[in-house]
A and B are shown apart, each in its own frame.
Chain A
Amino acid sequence: MFEPGMESDKSTDLKVIVFALGEERYAVDVQHVESIERLTDITRVPEAPPYVKGVINLRGVVTPVVDLRMKLGVTAKPFDAETRILIVRVGDLHVGLIVDRADDVVDLPPSAVVPPPEVVTTVRSTYVEGIAHLGESLVVLLNLTRVLSDEEREAVQRIEG
């Protein structure tokens, strides 16, 4: 994806979608994001882990939705008019992520992203790809692959344990 020094600055910019969870702002690589949906009827799946809110009908495709706030341990606020579902795809995983608000698509120059300091957010550091300075504020860049695959490991442990 990135080949340092091969391309101009502009094209090495990371395109991300910035969204809010509680008071903090997060971002994921726009390549993984298929669409942003308004909250819709969610059907609970009894056997699923608690952060899996259930499944939705996404234009005929049954799609699991994860409450990202619960998953990341961010204080959840009640669903409101700004609540959105980010539909993401990582490998063969196709999942909706519930976020408190979806903001902008932003170009981050590689220089704006720094590795996460030890203690910067409440989020587990394995999920964090880096921290980006965006104007005045800081944005936590999430590693979606880990956020989602971790899920699976836990599910396995949960079932086997």
Chain B
Amino acid sequence: MDIGDYLSMFLDESRENIDLINRELLALEQDPKNIEAVKELFRAAHTLKGMSATMGFGRLAELTHELESALDPVRSGERTLREDDVDVLLRATDRMEQMLKAIEEGRGDEGEIGDLIEALGRLGDDEEAAVGRSPAAATRHGGNDDDDDDYDYDGYQREIIRQALAQGLNVYRVRVTLRHGTLMAGARAFMVYQALESFGEILHSAPPVDDLEQERFDRSFVLTVSTRAAEADVVAAVQNITDVEAVSVAALTRTAQKGAAASASGVPALLIDRFSDYEAHHRHVFAEARRLGKRILRLTVTLGPGVLLKGARAYMVYQALEGFGEVLHSAPPMDDLEEGRFERVFALTVSTGGAPEAILDAVRNISEIQAVDLVEIVPDREAAPEAASMAREEVAATAEARANASSANNPAQNVRRAVHKMIRVDADRLEKLMNLFSELVIDRGRLEVIAQGLGHQGLLEIVEHMSRISGELQNLVLSIRMVSVESVFNRFPRMVRDVARELGKSVHLVVRGEETELDRTVVDEIGDPIMHLVRNAVDHGLESEAERKAKGKPPVGTVELVAYPSGNNVYIEVRDDGRGIDRDKVLKKAIERGLVRPEEAREMRDGAVYQLLFHPGFSTADVVTDISGRGVGLDVVKNKIESLGGRVAVFSKPGEGTIFRIQLPLTLSILFAMLVDIGGETYALPIADLLETIAVPPESVRTVHLQPVIDLRGTIIPLVDGRSFFRTTAPPRLGTHGVHPKVTDGKEAGEPTALYVAVIKKNERHVGLVVDRFIGQQEIVLKSLGAYLKRITTFLGATILGDGRVALVVEPSAFFEGASKGTLVV
């Protein structure tokens, strides 16, 4: 993984966290006592803060930190949020989103945050006291005398320290005292700083670095460093610097473990004699490690029942431990362990400077492990005071850290572990996988053709098996690309709230079906069009409160956002219970703009009238508002949706409300199609829109208003002649306007032959496409016609057939669009 991968992962996850923060803030606004929302909020903010700090986006981290502190008194129940507070918090999340965008565009986390920090600070005014009381300061154990100053870390630094510890790093608080009368104390301090920096990262300096360099300190100063190095090495390095009189080091841990014998942290210490499997030399090895500041931890691991690869699991545990230190002992012996020669339990002893929690976490993350127990081994009773005397003063880095450590087994953490089993995959890689798979599907098609041609039984069986496997593979690949629309829908509660406030309306937003899945590329693009429709619903759809009351409607308007799958499509509807679309008003405006002739207007179906709304430059709003007026928009919505292979339809009832229904393809690239021959050319019709295929005797074709139709079980279905529709060189099978189809027989000069008709159904409308021949159903891979032919609307794209030729894939609604051009009368 390079840094770019981390970055995109960071961006993805941070967006999710910001979404979550937004959502929970709104929940909190609704119900200020919702303590679960506060907790969720905290978790999200916390993760966001930690990640941005790790990625080096200090401003983002700072802003998140402030947000978190502002919420602290809310969490502790000292105060509840007012609406104004929520505004400030939401503004902060907006800013965070902008920062993420800037980061994504390579500008770093730029953007002013001073104003928000100040606003957030004011919001948490009464919070100071809470922080002052925070247990962090109180839990300090004054073991060593050289270090009486308060731990002067702020919340952000504590977080960094906590993270360093969680990664298994050591965090040392190094107090350095220079000799009396040291000249160039600033330079010496700088040398110490540099020496420590060579071990790792300096997290904190007291006094601040500037003061150090300017010699604004009195002989001694304290630096906090995170490092993998052992305490002794750090001490040695600093002691070698000229004029350094004394060095003392305190190792910070997440929990308050006082000395080796303490068990406050949940890591009990047991005497080595309690275990029978250590040998004499282990005692020496352990003592040596402890002298170097390491701790001896014994992990007893229990695998789940029925684990198949016991040896492998044990080895994984071994490896995980090696990451933290040296594995000194194994029970049963290593060989048996690797071969899986043990029941379900084994024990490893490791000497480490890492935090026990980090080790536990690492081991627990390995699959099929049922339980892990951890104890610290001490050589004898005398060792306890010895350990305590090693300046191993331990403090709780933060109150939260303590909470985390003591609840290592709580459900929230289990959830986090489960989440870690998800993998984020670069969309480009998926795209590549998809493309490769498409190639495979095409080759499979070819192979089928060849195998059938040869009629070789063995080959046929293999091909059939391959088809089955590739079918499953295909479902898998497709499902990987599917994501729920939740990520899009999540934006709306916030938006509706803002828009409603701006317009002084009360709106109740109902979101349903957010678990509906769509192809990722579609989900990425669909947000803006839906946003537009939702705004539109709030702004134009819903009446003002007074107006609603006057009509006897409930004063609070409802906007519904609903997603559901159906066939090869997913539908997303934006509904409102507002005034509905005024047909006459739309027509009036359309006539004014010359879009419709007055004499046409009366005859137009409602659906056609509503479609006028999507005409560029059309707007029916009486008052041009800030929200969605200005006459731009719905045409953009339509274009966007159509570019995704979708459609948008409008239904409305005056006084009752309006529905905008977006239809989107479930997936873009592989579909089932019926291949047909039209005038010697092969075309593919998507099965999803194909109602049935029938053979019609010529005499049952009638003509209504110059339009040939058939009666299919009571439904009158207009016919379209494929040969003339696609302008093939072959003569039309059907006579056009007014000509009875039987003339076809005359032209063909033979027996009247049946017409093959593909009945296509789209949005409750039917059409019968007359084809020469049905070739068969087949799975096809939809390919784009390319940018050069992007204006072509009759075809969804093209596909490559088993024989390598290209066949065009018909856009079924093309036949209905023809209706307005007069090719078809329904």
Contact = CB atoms under 8 A, between A and B. Distances in A.
The answer to whether A and B interact is yes
Contact of B788 (A46, A56, A95, A159): A95
A52 B788 CA distance: 10
Interface string B739-764: 00000000000000000000000000
A62 B797 contact: yes
Contacts of A151: 788
Interface stretch (B509-517, B706-714, B798-806): B798-806
Contact of A48 (B792, B797, B806): B792
Contacts of B418: none
A54 to B, nearest CB: 8
A43 B805 contact: yes
A57 B800 contact: yes
Contact of B784 (A62, A91, A159): A62
A43 B798 CA distance: 10
Given A47-B793, A47-B794, A93 B788 contact: yes
B794 A155 contact: no
Interface in B421-457: 439, 442
A158 to B, nearest CB: 8
Given A43-B798, A57-B805, A64 B785 contact: yes
Contacts of B800: 57, 60, 62
Contacts of A156: 791
B791 A92 contact: no
Contacts of B681: 43-44
Interface string A138-161: 000000000010011001100100
Contacts of B784: 62
Interface string B772-801: 000000000001111111011111011010
Interface in A103-161: 148, 151-152, 155-156, 159
Contacts of A155: 791
A7 interface: no
Contacts of B807: 43
A151 B789 CA distance: 10
Nearest to A52: B789
Interface string B17-35: 0000000000000000000
Nearest to B783: A62
Contact of B726 (A41, A46, A55, A56): A46
Contacts of A71: none
Contact of A148 (B726, B788, B791): B788
A15 interface: no
Interface centre among A43, A56, A62, A63 (most CB of B within 10 A): A62
B434 to A, nearest CB: 13
Given A57-B800, A60-B439, A46 B794 contact: yes
A58 to B, nearest CB: 10
Contacts of A55: 785, 789, 798, 806, 808
B727 interface: yes
A45 B789 contact: yes
A5 to B, nearest CB: 34
B797 A159 contact: no
Contacts of A152: 788, 791
A156 B795 CA distance: 17
Contact of B786 (A54, A57, A63): A63
A92 B790 CA distance: 11
A55 B783 CA distance: 11
Nearest to B784: A62
Interface residues of A, number: 28
Interface residues on B, range: 20 to 34
A64 B789 contact: yes
Contacts of B725: 46
Contacts of B795: 45, 47
B788 A62 contact: no
A61 B783 CA distance: 8
Nearest to A96: B788
B447 to A, nearest CB: 15
B440 to A, nearest CB: 11
Contacts of A93: 786-788
Contacts of A92: 787
A32 interface: no
Contacts of B798: 43, 55, 62
A94 interface: yes
A60 B799 CA distance: 9
Interface in A49-74: 52, 54-57, 60-64
Most chain B beta-carbon neighbours within 10 Å: one of A41, A47, A94, A95: A47
Given A62-B784, A62-B798, A43 B789 contact: no
B789 A48 contact: yes
Interface string B26-47: 0000000000000000000000
Contact of A46 (B727, B786, B806): B727
Nearest to B782: A62
Contact of A45 (B442, B783, B785, B804): B785
B250 to A, nearest CB: 61
Interface in B497-523: none
Nearest to A158: B791
A81 to B, nearest CB: 21
A56 B725 CA distance: 22
Nearest to A63: B786
Which of A43, A93, A94, A95 neighbours the largest number of chain B CB atoms within 10 Å of its CB?
Answer: A43
A91 B727 CA distance: 32
A95 B790 CA distance: 12
Contact of A62 (B439, B728, B786, B794): B786
A10 to B, nearest CB: 35
A56 B806 contact: yes
Nearest to B725: A46
A159 B786 CA distance: 18
A57 B792 CA distance: 18
Nearest to A148: B788
Contacts of B439: 60
Contacts of A64: 785-786, 788-789
Given A44-B681, A47-B792, A62 B805 contact: no
Contacts of B788: 64, 93-95, 148, 151-152
Contacts of A57: 800, 804-806
Nearest to B435: A60
Nearest to B792: A47
A63 B786 CA distance: 7
Given A57-B804, A63-B786, A92-B787, 18 more contacts: A43-B808, A45-B792, A47-B792, A47-B794, A54-B806, A60-B442, A60-B800, A62-B783, A62-B786, A62-B800, A62-B806, A64-B785, A93-B787, A94-B788, A152-B788, A155-B791, A156-B791, A159-B791
16 contacts: A45-B789, A45-B808, A47-B792, A47-B795, A52-B789, A54-B806, A56-B806, A60-B439, A61-B783, A62-B797, A62-B798, A64-B789, A92-B787, A93-B788, A94-B788, A95-B788
- Listed from nearest, the 10 A-B pairs whose CB atoms lie closest are A43-B806, A46-B726, A62-B798, A92-B787, A62-B783, A47-B794, A64-B788, A155-B791, A93-B788, A47-B792
